Amino acid sequence: MLNFAKRLFPINRSLTGPGNRKTLGLIKKVVKKLKIKSFTSGQKVYDWTIPLEWSISDAFIIAPNNEKICDFKKNNLHVIGYSKAVKKKIDLKTLKKNLHFSKKIKSAIPYVTSYYKKRWGFCISYNQFLKLKKGIYKIFIKSHFKKGKLNYGEALLKGKSSREVLISTYICHPSMANNEISGPTLSSYLYKWLSLKKRKYTYRFIFIPETIGSIAYIKKNYKKLKKNTFAGYNLTCIGDERSYSYIPSKYKNSVSDKVYFKAIKLKKIRSKIYSWSKRGSDERQFCSPGVDLPIGTIMRSKFGDYKEYHTSDDQIGKTVTSKGLVTSLNLVKRCINLIEANDYPVSIKLCEPFLTKYNMYNTLSDINQKKNNMGYTDVLTWCDGTNNIDDISELSQISKKVVKKIISILINKKLVRI
């Protein structure tokens, strides 16, 4: 996995462009069934529009002493993402208006983007910024925009059931290890592992640009996602060795959430659980109003909460390690194994069924009778597709053995399906 991450790391990615296609090409060597698909620039996706395709081949600044600084070819973070082409001479005062740095990590280059408004700019370490002298600077950015494509990858591993687990990760950041490379790397090897297993459920893997990619994907696949998806995870910032982190789905009660909580409890793994107010990745789109998919986000260090985040210090070997990737993969595998090990009963009837005609409810209501066949209704009320047998037993306060027997009867009466 670490070697694969090293191959992905140097590629200059953005929302669109040749870097994304090259990334997907490398992923396809691991994810054999990956289909590389696209949306067209200008295409409307809900309230958004697919942007123009952006590509860049070179960028740098020539200082007054003829030193080349902010060289894109040495580090692609030096240029603001989606910068327009520029070739001109300017003084230091004007240049400073187009320079970005971080005072938190003074030796690091920050990552800055300008996706939806055309501008140009460079990123520089604060230490180098302080060394800039007055004079004339030559500015050069060779980039261009065109009506092209926003590319993404999708792979399906079919199981016995058409019910799906969605695994999503993003491919839109340049050379940063944890915030970018860890997600696609782990997702690729999770696919490889799952492809060798017998599967009860179907697994859908997507590799998309963050935000606009998930919105476009939902727009195209809304009915299918709503019909089939019963669990899933967004994977990001998942390659370091720090504490695990998790952002549950919006109401913190999905299959995905229950499975994650059980996985960390069984293995006594420490994990920070964030509230929905701390969301920030594609869980925002998958759990947005009207979409409401059961998707949580699994991380190690949460995006925005670790010191190397969105800087050139987010490096393979420094933040992302082999141990970090392997242990994170093992946790996600545990979640998948728990999903596979359980059945999730779903009531077929809307409202409470008329149990009398199935010979499952007394026809005489008498105050002196014992509880009137409520075992069936107590189990049925929790058969919404998000609870397994253990959950239903706990929620209904009926023994697991009895719940299994009741579920079996309900299936035979065609009142419940798995």
Q: pLDDT for 130-139, tens place per residue? A: 999 999 999 9
Residue 366's pLDDT is 66
Residue 359's pLDDT is 87
| 25-54 as b/e: b if 16+ CB within 10 A | eebbebbeebebbbbebeeebeeeebbbbb
CATH of domain 54-146: 3.50.30.90
Residue 245's pLDDT is 98
Q: pLDDT for 232-279, tens place per residue? A: 999 999 999 999 999 999 999 999 999 999 999 999 999 999 999 999
Helix orientation angle between 255-266 and 322-341, rounded to the nearest 10 degrees: 120
Count how many residues are written for the chain.
Answer: 418
The CATH number fitting domain 2-51+149-341, selected from 3.65.10.10, 3.30.365.10, 3.40.630.10, 3.40.50.300: 3.40.630.10
Do residues 122 and 145 touch, judged by C-beta distance below 8 A? no
Which residues in the chain land under pLDDT 70?
365-374
Rounded to 5 degrees, φ, ψ at 194 are: -65, -30
Residue 362's pLDDT is 76
Residue 256's pLDDT is 97
Residues 6+ apart with CB under 8 A from 17: 53, 54, 55, 56, 148
What is the domain partition of the chain in residue ranges?
Answer: 2-51+149-341, 54-146, 346-417
